[in-house]
Every structure is written in structure tokens, then in C-alpha cells.
Amino acid sequence: MIELIKGNIIEAKTFGDPAITQNGYLAAKDGVVLGVFSALPEQYANLPVTDYSGQLILQGFCDMHLHAPQYPMLGMGMDLPLMDWLKTYTYKTEARFADSDFARGTYQRLAAELVKNGTTRVCIYSSTHADATRILMQELERAGIGGFAGKVNMDRDSCECQEGTEESKRETLRWLEECAQFKKIKPILTPRFTPSCTNELMGWLGKLAEERGLYVQSHLSENYKEIELVKRLHPDCEQYWQTYDKYGLWKEHTIMAHCVHSDAREQQAMIDHNVLCVHCPDSNINICSGFAPVRQMKNRGVWLALGSDIAGGAQLPMLQVITGCLRMSKARAIATDGAEPFLTVGEAYYLATSAGARYFGDRDGFAPGNPLHAVVVSDASMPPSARTLSVQERFERAVYLADDRAITAVYGNGQKIK
């Protein structure tokens, strides 16, 4: 079935200004993009058109790093130092997901919030619980969200959340068996981060990743104390990334969140192995991790996308993550006296869409062959403007001002899901 959508189409085709097709047509067949057209192609002339004229059609957002079981603590404990925050809130909250009913209600709500805000694909952490992870995946899939979800592995120094090593292995295998039922949302191995996993578990996960061709997600170089701790735990590794590499976890499509303090060598290791770095601006500032060198990493060729990182981040909507990214890039520009120029709206939009979509095999923008992921934004209720605005200006304003009320439709994997 061919679907035609009309509106102002805004594509992140490159890391730069978006490509804009004013009053254009986006065509898809069976949920797969056929192309973007400035005028309706003759062969589609008799087909019905879904008319979003006057509205903005953006690409669906990819949230490449977030913690589902931290959703209940969104916006709380932000005055606490990291370790107190983990102990007072994070581990206790995650432990609650042993209760499947609590997990069901929470994840239903989370999935609905994601869709409402235009996030159509995620790479998401669950808790250690195999059952709650299955429930999370069910609720995401039911809501129409695609991507990867991972049962967290953590058998060291993790308070209420800690598993035994054997338990962690057994539950991981049990969870993986149950993942066959999912079509849109796939399993990804998720050692929480080096300090929370024994070497034995890390090694076992690395082998499992290889045997089953699974991707891996974890955290890297978020703050100085963590980096020092990793050094003490792995004195044989010169750099943090090598603690993953040692166990076969540093490889093509591995996702590393944060990388705030990764130096040129660690960045090069990402490039060499096609590791995806996920920048989480709101988390970086809330937890005082630092100003990530986003412009520098992009210039060097690191593959970089964005994440909300709830609940270190307090903002689930990716439009807020984009403006958070812009503001944090300005903080970096201030801190480097302008040596690292701030990001533009178009650049941050690229990081929130096409850069993440590549993880799922897409090409940049609404490229033919991509599954259709789109977000329709109305700016009808924005402040009255002093003159006629260009679509580019309206796009920039929408990025800063639109909330879920302005998002009038969302398409996830070809389906209209809002």
C-alpha cells in the first residue's frame, strides 16, 4: 500500500543545515520510504494524500541511551552527588522492577510518553530483571517503538540491584530465549559499566556477544572518579575502553554512552571499531560530568548520536534533548573560549535523527528504502510572529518551543502510532 503525506519536509541529510522541501510529498510503500517530492509524481496522482499542509514533517527521533527503570525517579535527587544519587534513588528504584505489575504499569506509561514526544526508536536499558525486561520490550513493541533493549548485567558493587554471577548468566539466557517473540525491538547485551561487572561476567558476555552476533551497550568515561576507579580495577588497561576490548565487548556497533572525558586515543578507538558514542547533554550537566567535546569528536570522525539518559537526564522529549545539546555545546564553546564552536540547530537535529537511525541500517534523511519514521509538528499555537517566517526559521522555533501538544502525528516503522 502506498501512503502519501504532504507538508514541509525537513530532512537531516547531512550533519549541517537540514534539507527542506516546502509543501512537499513524502511517499512510502508498505511502510518503506519511496522518496520525497516537491510536486506530486504523476503515478501517484489518483492516490489519497494525508494532508499536513502548513505543518512541519520531521524525521522520527532516536533516543540512543536511556534507563527505563529510572523513569519513576525523573526529575528527582538532582541536588545529590552522583554516588548518593545512585544509592538513594537509582538502585532502590531499579530494584522495584522485581515486581512485574509495577513494571507493566510503568513501562506502559513510559512507552506512551516516548510516542507522544516523537521518539520512535530507542536503545534502552532495563533493570537486571529478565521478566521486567520482557515486559518493557512488550510495551515498547505494542506502542510501535523499535530498536534495542537490554537486561542489565551487574554482579559487583551495586547494592540492591546486584546479581550473583551465575544468576546473571542464567537470567540473561532465559531473557534471550524470550526475545524471539519480538519483531521491532531486539535484545542487546548490557553490562552496566566496568565497575559493576566482575571480569568473569564481562568475559562471558563477550563470548555470548560473539557466539550469537549480539550488539553491546555500556557506559564510558563519564566522570573522573569513575575513570580512576576503572584504572584501579584494571591496572593492566591503560585506558577505560580497553576494559571492554579485553573481553570482546568493544566492537562494531558497540554503544558507549557519555565519553565526556575520552581523549584523542580513546576517540580513535571508537572510530577504528565503528563504536557509537551517545552524547547525553542533560545528564552531563545534571550530574556535573563535564562539557563533552562534541564538535571535536564529530570533526575527528566519531560516530555520535544523542540520548535522553533518563533519569540522569530529566528530559524525555528528544526536542528537549536537542536544545539541551545546543546549550551544552555553547557551554563547551564558552569553556574553550570559542575554540570549539557550538552546534547549530540543524547539526543537533541530525544527531537526534539520522545519526541514530544509521544504527538501524537507515541512510540519512528520508532516504528511499528507510522505514518511515516521522514526526508531524504544528506551530499554529506558537507566539504571533512579526513577519512571515521561512520554513527553516519555523523549524528552529519548533525545536525550541514545541512540546507534545504541538506534535500532531507520529509514524513509527511505517505505522501511524500517534
Residue 65: which of 323, 294, 309 has the closest Cα? 309
Check residue 323 for interaction with its own copies (CB under 8 A): yes
State the minimum distance, in angstroms, from the CB of residue 71 to its own copies. 5
Q: Which of 59, 93, 158, 221 binds its own copies (CB under 8 A)?
A: 93
Please choose, out of 52-60, 132-140, 203-211, 331-339, the segment that lies near its own copies by the rule CB under 8 A: 331-339
State the minimum distance, in angstroms, from the CB of residue 189 to its own copies. 26
DSSP class of residue 189 equals B
Q: Burial, 83: exposed, middle or buried (Cβ in 10 Å; 0-12, 13-18, 19+)? A: exposed
Please choose, out of 106-114, 181-189, 248-256, 271-279, the segment that lies near its own copies by the rule CB under 8 A: 106-114
Q: Which is nearer to its own copies, 100 or 385 (CB)?
A: 385
Q: Which residues contact 121 (CB under 8 A, 6 or more apart)?
A: 60, 61, 62, 63, 145, 146, 147, 356, 357, 360, 373, 412
State the minimum distance, in angstroms, from the CB of residue 109 to its own copies. 6
Please choose, out of 156-164, 183-191, 278-286, 301-309, the segment that lies near its own copies by the rule CB under 8 A: 278-286
Q: Which is nearer to its own copies, 72 or 195 (CB)?
A: 72
Check residue 326 for interaction with its own copies (CB under 8 A): yes
Q: Which of 47, 83, 264, 335 binds its own copies (CB under 8 A)?
A: 335
Q: Which is nearer to its own copies, 102 or 182 (CB)?
A: 102
Q: What are the C-alpha distances in Å from 227 to residues 27, 38, 293, 358?
A: 48, 51, 17, 29
State the minimum distance, in angstroms, from the CB of residue 323 to its own copies. 8
Contacts of its own copies in 369-398 (CB under 8 A): 382-387, 389, 393, 396-398
Check residue 83 for interaction with its own copies (CB under 8 A): no
Q: Which residues contact 323 (CB under 8 A, 6 or more apart)?
A: 348, 399, 400
Can you say how many angstroms the Cα of residue 336 is from the centroid of all Cα atoms in its chain? 27
Q: Which is nearer to its own copies, 109 or 174 (CB)?
A: 109
Pair 372, 342: CB distance under 8 Å: no
Check residue 32 for interaction with its own copies (CB under 8 A): no
- Rounded CA-CA distance 40/402 in Å is 29
Q: Which is nearer to its own copies, 61 or 366 (CB)?
A: 61
State the minimum distance, in angstroms, from the CB of residue 319 to its own copies. 11
Check residue 76 for interaction with its own copies (CB under 8 A): yes
User: Where are the strands (E) in 322-401, listed by range?
Assistant: 374-377
Helix and strand numbers, DSSP H then E, in the chain: 15, 17
Pair 13, 20: CB distance under 8 Å: no
Pair 201, 168: CB distance under 8 Å: yes
For residue 30, count other CB atoms closer than 10 A to its CB: 11
State the minimum distance, in angstroms, from the CB of residue 404 to its own copies. 10
Check residue 96 for interaction with its own copies (CB under 8 A): yes
Q: What grid cell was written down for 310?
A: 533518563
Q: What grid cell was written down for 54?
A: 502548513
Check residue 403 for interaction with its own copies (CB under 8 A): yes
**Which chain residues interact with its own copies by CB under 8 A?**
71-79, 92-93, 96, 102, 105-106, 109-110, 113, 282, 285-286, 288, 290-291, 314, 323, 326-327, 330-331, 333-335, 342, 344-345, 382-387, 389, 393, 396-401, 403
